[in-house]
Amino acid sequence: MSSIPAGYRVVELTADDWAEVEALDRWAAPEAADTVPDTPDGLPWERMTGFRDDKGRLAAVATAYDLAAFTLPGAQARTPGFTCMSVHPQDRRRGLLRAMMGLHFERALARGEALSVLTASETGIYGRFGYAVASWNYALTLPRHSPLAPPPGADREDLAVLIETVDPARHTPAVNHVLAGAAWSGGLTRPGWTPRTEAWTKRRLSHLDDQPADGYEPRRIMLVQRQAEPMAYAVFARNGHFSCHGGSASKVRLDETAALDAAASHLLWSRLLDLDLTSVVEAPLLAPNDPLFGLTLDLRGARAELHDGLWLRLLDVGRALAQRQYAADVDLVIELTDDHLPANQGRWRLRAKAFADGTEVSRSGAGADLACDVRALAAAYLGGASLAALAAAGQVVELVPGSLARASAAFAWPVPAGCNWIF
């Protein structure tokens, strides 16, 4: 499937190759990318692939995180998170990324994985490989003291706040407890959410700690607990900045945050919005309809920017469609095109009951109700885009009247798709 550009060979890499991999990464991303850990044990070596030129020089690497419980509508499934794509500037545009992508697809399919996800440094790259934006993030900037609506239970006194310097070993269990719980909301899954293993969160917190951003203090953590149970957290840092008028204009910048209920979320945000000598809080990774939007009373006082979140690729369409749940009963045939993975092309019949397992997906010889490319299906897969909206943009064609409305209702999901970290 994947063709190797002339003059290069594929090599497997191990932690012994760390110095070379790190040097290559610094070439590819000169600003010391946030996503690449500072230590060799921070990288998923078991999925690391590289290309060397005929002199043995490392020219390209890529790997994938093993997202063992990646969250789908109504399910969780092992999914690779493609990452760390780095090609030396001297070797770019010779097809090395294309070759690494081909290997990634082959290996993920061989492992029985139906999807691949990534977060993109540049948005022009991944559509050609069949990925589409499957979740969206708001970056929200809130002025200090933005008023919040207290939800029921906000006045209870059983919640306590701890504010400490991040200590990866000590804080990892609390962070993971909240992350795992936040994959669910009101008994429904939160699509796109990634719980992490203990080792992985520990590495990530250490990595953030090792990389203070310009002018920012070391990473701090704010933890909300109910009778010692972690209920919400935010990893953040403040910069020291005084305006020309003598007042403080420091920012509070969040790396990640999650909460298990509305009262904990309210207390967390109330404290973040009331840190002395700060003027704004920047929260870069909020899903559309994040509870903070419901808590904030003066949304016009906030500034919101919409960004692409997760990019998703359906590798094995039959398995991918069968492994999620649907929000309405559905029985329809979709005619699919897929330039890169022809096994996905053709007509697929999807039969599902609302909010239930047991979805049936099969090849079909019947006439199709809808036609689209695999990218449109990827955009709708987590419920992040509606099939009707994609049809309005010409990306889905309704062949049988009425089928678009039924399909749109089924592919939607009540909890908006989000992405809790950038990798």
For 115, the enclosing helix (H) or strand (E) is strand 115-118
Minimum distance between the CB of residue 95 and ligand COA, rounded to whole angstroms?
5
Closer residue to ligand COA (CB): 86 or 323: 86
Minimum distance between the CB of residue 130 and ligand COA, rounded to whole angstroms?
12
Closer residue to ligand COA (CB): 28 or 222: 28
Minimum distance between the CB of residue 141 and ligand COA, rounded to whole angstroms?
25
Stretch that binds ligand COA, among 68-76, 122-130, 157-165, 274-282 (CB under 6 A): 122-130
Q: Which of 31, 122, 214, 276 binds ligand COA (CB under 6 A)?
A: 122
Query: How many angstroms separate the CA atoms of 404 and 392, rounded?
Result: 11
Q: Which of 16, 31, 56, 124 binds ligand COA (CB under 6 A)?
A: 124
Per-residue x/- track, 128-147, ligand COA (CB under 6 A): x-------------------
Query: How many angstroms separate the CA atoms of 90 and 401, rounded?
Result: 52
What is the rounded radius of gyration, in angstroms, for the C-alpha atoms of the chain? 23
Beta-carbon contacts of residue 285 (< 8 Å; ≥ 6 apart) = 137, 139, 254, 256, 257, 309, 418, 419, 420, 421, 422
Closest CA to 191 of 353, 413, 389: 413
DSSP per-residue codes, 131-197 = -EE--EEEEEEEETT--BPPPTTTT-S-EEEEEEE--HHHHHHHHHHHHHHTTEETTEE-TT-----
Minimum distance between the CB of residue 78 and ligand COA, rounded to whole angstroms?
21
8-state DSSP, 388: H
Minimum distance between the CB of residue 121 and ligand COA, rounded to whole angstroms?
4
8-state DSSP, 126: S
Closer residue to ligand COA (CB): 128 or 156: 128
The b-or-e profile of 297-324 (16+ CB within 10 A means b, else e) is eeeeebeeeeebbbbbbbbbbbbbbbbb
Closer residue to ligand COA (CB): 52 or 94: 94
Query: How many angstroms separate the CA atoms of 352 and 113, rounded?
Result: 21
Verify binding: residue 125, ligand COA, rule CB under 6 A: yes
Per-residue x/- track, 27-56, ligand COA (CB under 6 A): -xx---------------------------
For 270, the enclosing helix (H) or strand (E) is helix 262-272
Query: How many angstroms separate the CA atoms of 157 and 166, rounded?
Result: 25
Verify binding: residue 10, ligand COA, rule CB under 6 A: no
Per-residue x/- track, 69-98, ligand COA (CB under 6 A): ----------------xxx----xxxxxxx
Closer residue to ligand COA (CB): 57 or 351: 57
Closer residue to ligand COA (CB): 59 or 183: 59
The letter for the amino acid at 164 is E
Minimum distance between the CB of residue 204 and ligand COA, rounded to whole angstroms?
17
Minimum distance between the CB of residue 98 and ligand COA, rounded to whole angstroms?
4
Stretch that binds ligand COA, among 119-127, 130-138, 351-359, 372-380 (CB under 6 A): 119-127
Residue found under tokens 């093993």: 66
Verify binding: residue 103, ligand COA, rule CB under 6 A: no
Report the interface residues with ligand COA, using CB under 6 A.
28-29, 85-87, 92-98, 120-122, 124-125, 128
